[in-house]
Amino acid sequence: MEIIEEYTFSNDRQIWRLLPTDTDKLVIEERNPETKEVFFNCLDINSGVKIFSDLQLDEKFWVGIEAIHKDIIYFHRFVKPDMPGHKDIIAFDISAGEFIWETTDYSFLFIKDDLVYCFKSLFEGKNYFSLRYNTGELQDELGNNSAVINSLMEQTRSSQNFDDYIFPESFNPGIIDNENINNYLSRLQKEVLIAGKIDYALYRNILLFNYHEFYLNGKLRNNFKAIEVDSGKILFEETLNKESNVLIPDSFFMRENLLFLLREKSALVVCSLKD
């Protein structure tokens, strides 16, 4: 097996979220905390070809993404800056490249069976509603029965499928059944002065892992490697962060045969693993 770098994406802004879609697109949220601006980009997930770039809303910073469904992105505003509460629903059609509907009457909850479930806050409690996913038209008024809403929400969560994804977990010696992996990572812990845990994932016979080692002047360096489990042969290695003051979590993950690496917080490197 070989690891091939397919493309790199960077606008020299902090990458905040990566959201793959069911239609092989990748939505990227970037934030600039100094200028208080957020930008949204969309790529073809396999080739890196840009579908749209530097999308912004009327509110330049206090907005985020609730969900993506059938190539429609559902944005929200915040009730107050620096506060977690969400309000409003703004729908953007990726294929059309335009905003297709918006409501300031409701706040987003979840999507099920092509309906956007949402709520309106009252003085005491909430009233619930469902909207058509592609038009925002009112489908049903569901009253204040939170038990029904919670049941539908749980059905939605339980039906979500993450089988195509591999996310790293923290290495603990002796927990992994594979002796080669245990030995390799345990030896690394003895040979290198590591801060925090080693994060690892296994794709077929390939061990993927990253770790932070103490570097010059007390700084940390975040290293990523991919090796063949049986032979220990290094297939790929990359310094993800040359100098950092803190541990940087969520440095990599996989979707199908694609490996996503976050370099220096502002660059995305996408590689493919092929026989």
What pLDDT sits at residue 173? Answer: 81
Between 17-21, 78-82, 265-269, 271-275, the lowest mean confidence (pLDDT) is in 78-82
Burial class (CB in 10 A: 0-12, 13-18, 19+), 249: exposed
pTM: 0.92
Residue ranges per structural domain of the chain: 2-159, 165-255
H helix count then E strand count, the chain: 2, 22
Per-residue model confidence as pLDDT tens digits over 236-257: 999 999 999 999 989 999 999 9
pLDDT at residue number 157: 92
User: CA 132 to CA 138: how far, in whole Å?
Assistant: 7
pLDDT in tens, 164-191: 999 999 998 877 788 899 999 999 999 9
Q: What's the CA gap between 4 and 221, in Å, rounded?
A: 23
Which CATH code is given to the segment(s) 2-159? 2.40.128.630
Segment 48-68, tens digit of pLDDT: 999 999 999 999 999 999 999
- 112-144 pLDDT, tens per residue? 999 999 999 888 889 999 999 999 999 999 999
pLDDT digits (tens, 9 = 90+) for 67-84: 999 999 999 999 988 778
Terminal CA-CA length for the chain: 4
Element (H, E) at 152: helix 146-159
Q: What is the mean pLDDT of the chain?
A: 94
Q: What is the mean pLDDT of residues 159-167?
A: 92
Long-range own/partner contacts, residues 30-38 (CB < 8 A, 24 or more apart): 30/266, 31/61, 36/60, 36/61, 37/61, 38/63, 38/64
* pLDDT at position 215: 84
